[in-house]
Structures are given as structure tokens and as C-alpha cells.
Amino acid sequence: MKKQKRPLKETYKLNKTKEILQIEKNEGAEVSPSEPNTHKLIQELKVYQIELEMQNEELKLAKEKEEVAKKKYIELYDFAPSGYLTLSNKGKIIDLNISTENLLGKNRTSLINSSFGFFVSSDARTVYNNFLQDVFSTNLKQACELKLAGGDDSMRYVLVNGITSNVEEKCMLTLVDITKLKFTEDELIKAREKAEEANRLKSAFLANMSHEIRTPMNGILGFSELLKTLTLTGEKQREFIDIIQKSGVRMLNIINDIISISKIDSQQIEVLVSNTNINEQVEYIYHFFKLEAEQKKLDISFKNGLNSDNELIRTDREKIYALLTNLVKNAIKFTKTGSIEFGYEKKGDFLEFYVKDTGPGIRDEYKEIIFERFRQGNELLSREYEGSGLGLAISKAYVEMLGGKIWVKSKLGQGSTFRFTIPYHKCNKKKELIQTVSEEKIRPNKKWKILIVDDDEPSRILLNMMIKPLEGKIFQATSGHEAIKVCRHNPGINLVLMDIRMKTMDGYEATRQIRKFNKEVVIIAQTAFALPDDREMAIQAGCNSYISKPTNRMDLMDLIHQYLR
């Protein structure tokens, strides 16, 4: 049974007695045991002394437990993964833990008594002020999201929960770092917006391609039909044929753009560096577009930035040609009156090319998006200008492959200037005289035997007409199996024009079978795929060379002359 504590008065009396006895002892006085109350008081004093010692021990243990609990609380408070913060009703920091120190990027000593609002970013300050006001006015738990600017110049997003204290005019906040979550959320939003934009552009592209392909097809089919049904003069026939040819070129350009962007996406385009006479390329572009510009009554001029001693450089000739062609063609297309000037100048280790026009100019909001795919500054289906909207996207990819950059400066109503740079690598070799085979006259030879292999009748007729001036004997086959048979029975065949994509047996397999019994015959692959791997696959199958459809007559004659001369 627990012993009852003594009343306060009795405890006081015992304490006084103890003091008196102690004084008497110190003065040498003797206590007479015969005094009636003295013995009793001494006994009670001894008992009380024992009780005091026990209470003292209990207090000691309680204090130790308090210290342990306090230490544990401090550890839990300080090292909690979330930030803990105590604020006064004026927003001053009263206490905080280590996680809050890390969030704010400063030590505790410098943070105490400072304003927490100082660390809230300016765009979130109103949210914070409203949150703090709600916490103290409602005495209910409140929450908000804040962006904090730490001492290390980093931005942190935190989820804040706050509630007031029941004892003092202060509030306790918990801060949960949601920066990673916020960035992930932002990335997801950007990805969704990008997907939506891509889907929108795809829809616009498909609608535009439908228009762009159907328009030249209408010219080809319509005027072809007129050539068949009408009795026309020679001049009118030439006019219709010219329209058909231009429509075909327009459609081929669209297809080439689509193929080029597909190659870029699949990383199938390589940079092929060779000796390039940059002045000759610029002059060639000028002469190529001169007639078209003059037909629109536009003045066109060019300027070279290197003299004849330095005009031979190391770069990708075909990509430079494609870049200048795209930009000059655009300038002519969009410019109705005035002039076009293009050229380049040397700036340090780079050549900076430019194409300047007096066209309608480009709005500021369109200056970046015009280098994106399927864009011409807008996606209206009733656009004034024809085209796939891929030219500048292809140009940007080519410039970056060459190690340069491309940009535009423009004022609405005053024209545009497109510029791009490429590294300048001078070639130390002397200028070489380059003469193409097509410039030479190809001499007919009645002894030549040529086999045309194609399962498409119009393609066979076209090839037949192209090589007819050679005056050789022409064989025809409509399949791979038939081609093998013709070659077996005619070992003297000099040349095979082998279509690649055919039913039952393709051109690759037919070539491999022919090579088993004829190593000498020249085989030129012809395909409509026109992808980089096609040439390599053709060579591996045993072909001597490769030409892409639609077949260019002069390119074909070059190849034939190269192998049969």
C-alpha cells in the first residue's frame, strides 16, 4: 500500500525541528532524551529523511527520463524528412528543424527571427500571405503550395500545412519538398502538350499533303487526258507537256522532302565530306534560279566571299546545295516584287551564308516555328503558297549536322534574311577540272544488248524510250524468274536494268542468281525506295550500281556510258 504524503504544516514542523537540532548539535548542546517530545521528533525526522532521499531518487530518475525523451524529441524534430517551422503571428521564424535549414539554404542561427516570407518567391507571395492570414483567423488546418528561393539560388516547391498553437500566438508549419514531383508533373504536361501539338501538326500535314499531292496529280492526269482526246497544235501540245512536267517535278519535290525528313528521323543521313568549290556552287544556284526569278520580274544577284585561291573547301557538297536551293527557292516563292540577293562571307572559322529577299516578312511569333516541321508560319488549309512545310526543318537538320546554326531576321512588310553557318575547312589541293559524263556525247552502238527488267509496263516503256537512241538490242522481262531465263539464253547481254521490287522474286535475289553463272554483265538496280540502305543492299546482292526512281534520263545515260564505254 502506497504511503500517504505528510500534510504541508507537519512537513514544515519537521523541517524546523531538524534545523533546531542541527543548530544545537553544532553548538555542542546535548539533547535530553527525557524530554517528552524530543524522542518522537527524532524518529519522525529519520523517517522523513528516508522519504526525502527516496523522493530525491525518484526526481533524479524522472529527470533522466525527461532528458532521454527530450533528446528523442529533438532528434525526431531535427532529422524528420519534412521541414518543421514555427512562426509568430507576424510571420517571424521562432523555431525550425534541419530539414527546413536545408530547404532554405541557411543555418538556424541566421534564420531565427527572420521573416519566412522573404524566402517565398515573388510570384507565390500573395498565396503565402493569404495562407498565413487564414491560419490565424480560422484556427483551422490550412494548406497551400509555395515556391521557395533558397540561399543557394535554387528553387524548391513545397507543400505547406499549418495550424495555430492553443497556447501561444504562433503557428506550426510542415514543409514537404515536392520539387521532383512538380518537375515530373511539368514534364508530363509538356509531353502531353507536345503530343497534342504533334497530333495537330500531323492532321494539318495530312490535310496539306492531300492538297499538295492531288494538285499536281490533277495537272498530270488532266492534261494527259487532254493530250489524248483533243486535236492540238504543236505549240499547245508543248504547253500541256510543260504543265505535266512541272506538275511531276512539284510532286517529286514533295516526296523527296518526306523521304528526307524520314531519313533524318531514322538517322540514316551521313555527312559526306569532299572537296567542294564553294564559288562554283553559289554561281550554279544563281544560274539555276535566274530564269524563274526573271519570270516573276525579280532582280536576283549573288556574292562570293572567297577568292579563287581559297574557294576549294572541305564540306558536304550535296547538303550545301540542298540548303541554298531550299532558301533561294523559298525567297522566290514568297517574294512578289523587288529583289533577291544571296551569297556568303568568311567570319573567323566559319562561312556565313545568307539569302535576302524583299518579300512580305515574317511575324515575330512565327520566327521560331518556321523551322519546325509542316509549318509555314500558319497551318491554314487555304494557304497562298504551295509546299510541304518541310524545307526549313530539313535545312535546320542539315546545318546542325555540318556543325553550324541557322536563323532568320525579318520585318513585316520589309522582307527577310535567312543566315546559316558552316565550319570553314580550306582544302590545300589545287582546283580540279570536273567534267561530267553527261556533257560528252554518248555514241550509239548496235552491238550492245540491254535487258530491261520491270513488272510495271509504263516503266518498261519509259526505259525503252530513254535508251532507244543507243541503237542496241533491247530485251524485256516482267519478273525476276524471267530475267534469269533471258540471261541464261543470251550470255552476250551487256547491261541489265534491274527493278528491285517485283512479285515472287525481287531484284536482289534475281541478281544473286544471275551472278552464279554470269560475273561480267553490268547490272544497274533501279528502285522507288531511294533510301540510303538500298544502294548498299544492291551492291551486296551483286549489282554494279544503283539509280532511284523516277529515273532521270541524263543520270541513266551517265551510268550506261560509264560502264559500257
* Secondary structure of 238-266 as H, E, C letters: HHHHHHHHHHHHHHHHHHHHHHHHHHHHC
The last residue of a domain, from among 177, 205, 224: 177
pLDDT at 39 over 80: no
Of 113, 114, 85, whose CA–CA distance to 97 is shortest? 85
Can you give the pLDDT at residue 141? 92
Q: Please give the torsion angle defined by the CA atoms of residues 248, 251, 256 and 262, in that order, rounded to the nearest 10 degrees.
A: -150
Residues 296 and 418 reside in one and the same domain: yes
Can you give the pLDDT at residue 471? 81
Can you give the pLDDT at residue 305? 92
pLDDT class for 211, splitting at 50, 70, 90?
low
Q: Is 120 within the bounds of a domain?
A: yes
Percent of the chain with pLDDT over 90: 31
The DSSP call for residue 170 is E
Residues 533 and 450 reside in one and the same domain: yes
Residue range 239-248, pLDDT digits in tens: 888 888 878 8
Can you give the pLDDT at residue 224? 84
Q: For 147-156, 378-387, 446-455, which range has the lowest pLDDT when averaged over its residues?
A: 378-387
Can you give the pLDDT at residue 18? 57
Residues 171 and 224 reside in one and the same domain: no
Give the mean pLDDT of 250-262.
76
Of 172, 148, 149, whose CA–CA distance to 158 is shortest? 148
C-alpha cell at 423: 565550319
Residues 303 and 278 reside in one and the same domain: yes
CATH number at residue 216: 1.10.287.130
Q: Is 187 within the bounds of a domain?
A: no
Q: Is 433 within the bounds of a domain?
A: no
Residues 479 and 456 sit within 8 Å (Cβ to Cβ): no
Can you give the pLDDT at residue 13? 53
CATH number at residue 111: 3.30.450.20
Beta-bridged to residue 289, according to DSSP, are none
pLDDT at 380 over 50: no
Residues 137 and 213 reside in one and the same domain: no
Can you give the pLDDT at residue 531? 57
Residues 480 and 491 sit within 8 Å (Cβ to Cβ): no
Q: How far is residue 454 CA from its own chain's centroid? A: 42
Angle at 326 between CA 322 and CA 329, to 5 degrees: 130
pLDDT at 35 over 70: no
Q: Please give the torsion angle defined by the CA atoms of residues 194, 195, 197 and 198, in that order, rounded to the nearest 10 degrees.
A: 110
Peptide bond into 423 cis (omega under 30): no
Phi-psi region of 139 (alpha: psi -120 to 50; beta: other; left: phi over 0): left
Residues 367 and 412 reside in one and the same domain: yes
Q: Is 61 within the bounds of a domain?
A: yes
Residues 545 and 520 reside in one and the same domain: yes
Structural domain boundaries, residue 113: 83-177
Residues 260 and 278 reside in one and the same domain: no
Residues 250 and 216 reside in one and the same domain: yes
CATH number at residue 311: 3.30.565.10
Give the mean pLDDT of 125-134.
92
Of 381, 283, 270, whose CA–CA distance to 324 is shortest? 283
pLDDT class for 217, splitting at 50, 70, 90?
confident
Q: pTM of the prediction?
A: 0.51
Residue range 300-321, pLDDT digits in tens: 999 999 998 889 999 988 889 8
Residues 460 and 529 reside in one and the same domain: yes
Distance CA(111)–CA(102), nearest Å, equals 11
Cα distances from 535 to residues 117, 197, 253, 510, in angstroms, run 67, 36, 21, 16
Q: Is 502 within the bounds of a domain?
A: yes
Question: Helices in 302-390 by DSSP H: which ranges?
Answer: 317-334
**Pairing between β-strand 312-315 and β-strand 545-548 as defined by DSSP bridges:** unpaired
Beta-bridged to residue 199, according to DSSP, are none
pLDDT class for 451, splitting at 50, 70, 90?
very high
C-alpha cell at 354: 545568307
Residues 202 and 237 reside in one and the same domain: yes
Angle at 323 between CA 529 and CA 263, to 5 degrees: 30
**Pairing between β-strand 339-347 and β-strand 350-357 as defined by DSSP bridges:** antiparallel
- Identify the residue whose cell numbers are 480560422: 138
Beta-bridged to residue 342, according to DSSP, are 302, 355
- Mean of per-residue pLDDT scores for the chain: 81
Can you give the pLDDT at residue 17? 55
Residue 392: partners with Cβ closer than 8 Å, 6 or more residues away? 326, 330, 370, 371, 375
Can you give the pLDDT at residue 429? 57
Residues 176 and 159 sit within 8 Å (Cβ to Cβ): yes
Residues 454 and 471 reside in one and the same domain: yes
Phi-psi region of 39 (alpha: psi -120 to 50; beta: other; left: phi over 0): alpha
Question: Comparing 95 with 51, which gets the higher pLDDT?
Answer: 95
pLDDT at 9 over 60: no
Q: Is 551 within the bounds of a domain?
A: yes
Give the mean pLDDT of 246-259.
78
At 496, the amino acid letter reads: V
Counting the structural domains of the chain, the total is: 5
Can you give the pLDDT at residue 435? 40
CATH number at residue 538: 3.40.50.2300
Can you give the pLDDT at residue 21? 54
Residue range 499-532, pLDDT digits in tens: 988 888 989 999 999 999 999 999 999 876 555 5
Phi then psi for residue 85, to 5 deg, are: -145, 135
Q: Is 1 within the bounds of a domain?
A: no
Q: Is 333 within the bounds of a domain?
A: yes
Distance CA(407)–CA(424), nearest Å, equals 18
